[in-house]
Structures are given as C-alpha cells and as structure tokens.
Amino acid sequence: MNYIGKEMRRVDGYAKVTGKARYAAEFQIPHLTHGYILTSTIAKGRIVRIDTRAAEAAPGVIKVLTHLNSVKPVSDEVKKKGEDLSFRALVDDRIHFSAQPIAVVVASTFEQARHASRLIQVDYAAETAHTDFDALLGQAHDPTPDESPKPRGNPAAAFAGAKVKVEAAYTMPIEHHNPMEPHGGIGYWIGDTLTVVNKSQNVHQDREQLAGYFGIPIERVNVVSLFVGGAFGSCLRPNYYTFLLGAVSKAVGRPVKIVYTRRQMFSGHGYRPYYRVELGLGADAAGKLQAIRYRHVLNTSRIEAFNEAFFRNARSLYACANVEDRFEVVETDLPTPQAMRAPGTISQMFGIECAMDELAYALKMDPLQLRLANYAETDPETGKPFSSKALRECYSLAAETFGWSKRTPEPRSMRDGRLLVGWGMATGTWAAMQMPALARVVLKADGSAQVGSATADIGPGTYTVMTLIAAEYLGLDAKRVQFELGDTRLPKAPSQGGSWTTASVGSAIHGAAREIRGKLLELARQDGQAAFAGLDVDKVELADGRLQPIGNPDAGLDVAKLMRQHGLQQLDVVHESKPSAERKKYATAAHGAQFIEVKVDPDTGMVQVTRVIEATACGKIMNPLTSHSQEIGGVVMGIGMALSEGTEVDHRYGRMLNASLADYHVPVNADVHLIETMFVEENDTIVNPLGVKGMGELGMVGIPAAIANAVFHATGKRIRELPITPDKLIG
C-alpha cells in the first residue's frame, strides 16, 4: 500500500490555517443583506400582538418578517398528516419553547438588524410550561411499543435468584454540541432557483426539505457546504434557519445571511437530551451475569418524538441469557433534542459500565476480569458470529500499557502526595455501519483525477481520507487527486454522522476505481496485450500510473498512453456502494477499552484526568494521523461530559440558563493531560471492501464511565450523576 495505513497530512490543512477555507457565513455574495432572529421570552403559549412598526422605521432596515407576513412552507400539509413533525419557524402564533424564533429583521448590516429587533414589541398569552424532567418522570412511556423487543429469557426470575446484585440509577444532564463555528448561512434566489450556502452534515437532505418547503422541483435547489467548523451531530438534519434563509431572501428579493448568536445556539439546533438510566445486574459468585434489567428514559419535546433506541447495548455487549431493556421518553416544553456525538450509546454505556464497576466491587473482583468473564464471543442477541472482534486484544494492550496490574483495589488506597489517585476502566463499542453512497471518479489522460461525492467534512479529515483512498486505488500521486464534497451538484452521499462516512463514501470511491480499472483492462484487451488475456478486473491493479497484472509489474502499461491511444481524454464513472448481503450473516461492531487515571484534591474536590490509555479495534486504519486525532478528540469530549458539561434549565421560565461558552464549561488545554491512543487492526472485508469501521463516535463512548469509576477508586464516593463536580465530592 502506498497510502492506506500511512500517515498523510490534511489536504485542506493549508487552506484552514491561512483562512482560504470558506465557511458558510464567509461567502461574499453581491448585494448581501443581514438577518437577525428575534426569539420568544416565554416557553409556551401564543403571540397575541407583535408590533414591528418601530423596527421597520429604524435605520438600514429592509423588512421585518413574522408569522403574519412570512412565506409559509408548502409542506405544512405534510406536517398536518404527521409525516414530518420537525419545527417550522414563523408559521403561526404558537410558542413551543423558550427562545423560539418569532421574527427576522433584515437590514443592510448585522448591527442595524440586531438593534431593530429590540424595538419589536410582543404581547403573549402565556401558558404553563413543564420542563422539569424529574417532575414529569411519572409520565414516561415507550413511544414505539410495537417496535420494542421482548425480554430475552426470564430477567425478573434470574435477577431475583442471583447471588450478587447491583441496582442503581445514573443521570446525565442536557448537553449542547457547542462547535466552534456558529450555525448559519446565506440564501439567495436567481429566478426560480434557490441556492443556500449552509453549515450542514447532509446537503442533499437540506435540499430535499427546502424543495418540499417551497413546493418546487428538487433540481431548482442547490445547497453548498464546503467546510464545517465542528458539528458533533448538530447539523444532521436541517435546522430552522435553513428554511428561513430561503423564505427571507425570497421576501426581500436579495441574498440574506443569517447566523446564530452563541446564545441562540442553545435553542436552535437541539441538544443531547437529559437521561436517566436505571440498571439492575445480577451475577453468580464467580461473576457470571445472570440477569440485566435496564431502563433508559430521556426527554423529548411535545411537538416531535425523539428517541435513541436505535442501539440496545444492554442486549449485545456482554454474554447474558436474561435481558430486559426498556426505552422511554418524557415529553417536555423544550426544543426537540438532536443526536450528539455517540448518541444513545454513550448514555447507555455510562450506566452499564458504571454498574459493572459496582458489581466488581460487590464481588471483590477485578473490573477487567469481570468483563472478561462475561465476554461475548458471539452476538448474545442474534447468535451471529462477529465479522471481527478484537476487544480482548484491546483490553490486554491497554491494560499492559497503563500498568493496570499495579492497581490496589481498595478505594483511597493510592496517593500522589496529598492527592488521591484513582484508576478506572470501561468498555467502548459502536456499530460498524455502512450506508448507500455515490461517488464520481474522473480519471484524466494527464495523470490526474477528480473525485466527488456530496458528503461533508465536519472535522474528521474527510477531504484527506477520500483523497488517500482514491490515490491508492487509482495508482496516482495523491497530489494529482482532487476530491470535492459538500455540494448537491455532486453524487448523493449519506449524512456525515454515525461514523459511517469512510465505510460508505470510501467504498463508493473504491468501487468507482474498480470500474475504471475494468475499463482500462478492456482497452488493453482491445490492443491485444497478451499479459492481460484471461485476467478479470480483480487480477489487475493500478500503481504508479500503470495498469499491471498483480504480481507482474514488468508487464504493466502506462495508463495515460493507453487512454491517448484510444482517443480518450478521460474516463468517467459514477458508482454506488451498498452494504453487501454477506454482512447480514454477521454481527458487525467496533470496540475499544479505556483505562484512566484521575487525581483528586481531597480538600477542594477538584478532579484532574491525568492519564488516558485507549485501545481501539475498528478494522483497517486508513490514515493513522487523523485517526489518532479523532480518538484524542473523543477522549477530550468524554472528559467534558464527565467533569464539566451540563446545560442548566430554569424551570420557572423553561429557559436554558448557561447559554454561553463562559458559563457552559467545555474542556480547555489545562484540563487535558496525557492521552495515548492505540489501534488493534482487524482484517475484516465483510463489513465493507475497505475493511474500515467507524471511530469518531467510538473514541468517546467509554470515557465518562471510566472517569467515574476512577473517581470512586480515588475517593470511595460513587457519583452517579454527571457531571462530577467538586460539590458532589465534598458535600
């Protein structure tokens, strides 16, 4: 391999550090105007009166749009039928959540629009809003009971008869994605065609929704998203401003830019919901699990059902014959939640992995040995073999590197001077998914290639890894490959989420390169090249600009010369990749092990994560440089979830309180110490032709649980409520 498995610097790195990378709100469009969103001050009710006259008379103001004069989505008829319940902005007088958009002021400058928005007078008929999850817990229900699996075995009886039991509840607060780049974009019409330059993880989905909103053919909508300054799931589906970009620009007849303020980021794109995870584990005296009883409750909005029951880790992580899992929701008068990095799985795993640690202490058993005693060699739910599973090797590598054998098990038994030292561990897992995806590959006679797919790059290095894959399988210098993404004029790709982008789009590029190889092989046959007689496409390869039989480079042909001989300036292929039928015979997942050291000040309760060793098994590593970066980023985000992140809600007003980066505490450099990430590679061509599994979500999954377990080891205090703040340790 010339490129796969070798470190490659980001191909877009220079553009990003020099400012040449153009983010959505940075595009320079002639005659650009600026829109500023005014939001509601109540959480529930309706608008009785909205007076915009003073705003309309303010300097620079072009137009003020409210529900009284805004463009109404044609697709509201779809919403009425219950087919799409997502929130629409400025469609009626109803208020569904605090800080809901109620007006957009359009002016010549941002400052003029913002000033004018403060001149709008609004009267409400307020209703009582209910946003307190705990107060509403009694109303929790399963929103899709017909889709929920039945218990496996007899969990109630098995739990009752278990020799050792653990029962506990774990809670996680609302969290916000807080990417560096605020959400926003620019919308403009040329005739009857709408173009939206947007911050997006799925431009084709944005396009389809906009076409439905305005009742126009999809071909008359273009969406562009070339660079994304972080997303973490916050742009997985169109946010309300996406429609406003089209509606407002249509109303004023000029391009309009709308960008959220940081405060509006807390009500404009969803959030990780509040979670309560209730667990009961029953085991025999040797630590073998006899029963797992699991209940997962999260909050949703009243206007749209949101649930994260798509992964059920309690049923598949450990070998156990008796499992019951329940997924329920509580309806609140808050905005609809949204997927956030490692959605569903990280909340489940926090509960499961903390409960496993509690069970290990109850059994007086090493936490790693307990996990090995319940290691699932095949999928416990389906009985299918794993396409690959190197979790055992991850445990071994990470434990040895960390020095786990030197741990003394008693809480408060390890110190560094006056600081309490704690060691904890956990397991991570994430489904190894692949989605249908299209990619275009154009191989040119000058020895270059253009490759394109309408995927996104929210930061993991998509530009780079797709360039790398194309260069590898086209046999070109990577500098001669140009990869394009983020434009609906390119072939359709799935959203960048779920850690499936490389498996999906990368497989499409791999397939397109194979088709190109087949076309070149046919040209060689037409020329009567004896070395290629009787060979099929999988018996030849492209390397260093040559088509050659595998293992016989001396018989190779110069590709550029071959194409010119046939009068071809380029070969153009659009390939669609789909999950293979073979995958259905196997369970497919990626796994990892996390070992963490914390140091706790016994007087102040301050916790520092001083050392993280993470070993991950996620198939073939395409680019170690960006792969390690992904895992380190996941660790840092896990540290934030464990120790500092949480959105406070004032339930009197249903409003997010700490809606700024000064008050919502994400980790900073001082919070991050030694992080070492390692990979145990797996040879797995069942998951996809490239043998890759997703890692972006996986790197975060076990971190909060491992930290919580380490904090208990350090202090003897079991904190089951995230984040683990000093008050919970010294109170």
CA distance 65 to 101: 11
Sequence-separated contacts (24+) of 513-516 with Cβ below 8 Å: 513/441, 513/470, 513/473, 513/474, 513/542, 514/473, 514/538, 514/575, 515/441, 515/573, 515/575, 516/441, 516/443, 516/474, 516/542, 516/571, 516/573
d(CA 617, CA 564): 45
H-type helices in 40-102, by residue range? 53-56, 76-80
Q: Which residues share a beta bridge with 292?
A: 281, 323
Tokens of 552: 């016989």
Nearest to 649 by CA among 131, 99, 261: 131
- DSSP secondary-structure letter at 427? E
* 563, containing H or E segment: helix 559-565
CA 466, CA 454: separation in Å to the nearest integer? 12
Question: In this structure, how many other beta carbons lie within 10 angstroms of the beta carbon of residue 141?
Answer: 10
Dist CA 509 CA 59 (whole Å): 53
Take residue 532 and report the two structure tokens written for it: 């290629």
Q: 77 an active-site residue?
A: no
Cα–Cα distance for residue pair 55/107, rounded to 1 Å:
10
Among the listed residues 440, 483, 444, 452, the one whose alpha carbon sits nearest the alpha carbon of residue 570: 444
**Which amino acid, one-letter code, is at 461?**
G
Q: How many CB atoms sit inside 10 A of residue 306's CB?
A: 19
At residue 215, the 3 state secondary structure works out as coil
Preceding peptide of 723 cis, ω within 30°: yes
Kindly name the residue from 56, 682, 697, 721 that is annotated as catalytic.
Answer: 697
First to last CA, the chain: 57
Residue 567: burial class (beta carbons within 10 Å; 0-12, 13-18, 19+): exposed
- The whole-angstrom separation of Cα 103 and Cα 55 is 11
* Rounded-to-integer distance, Cα 648 and Cα 657, Å: 5
Dihedrals φ, ψ of 618, to 5°? -135, 50
Radius of gyration of the chain (CA): 27
Catalytic residues: 697
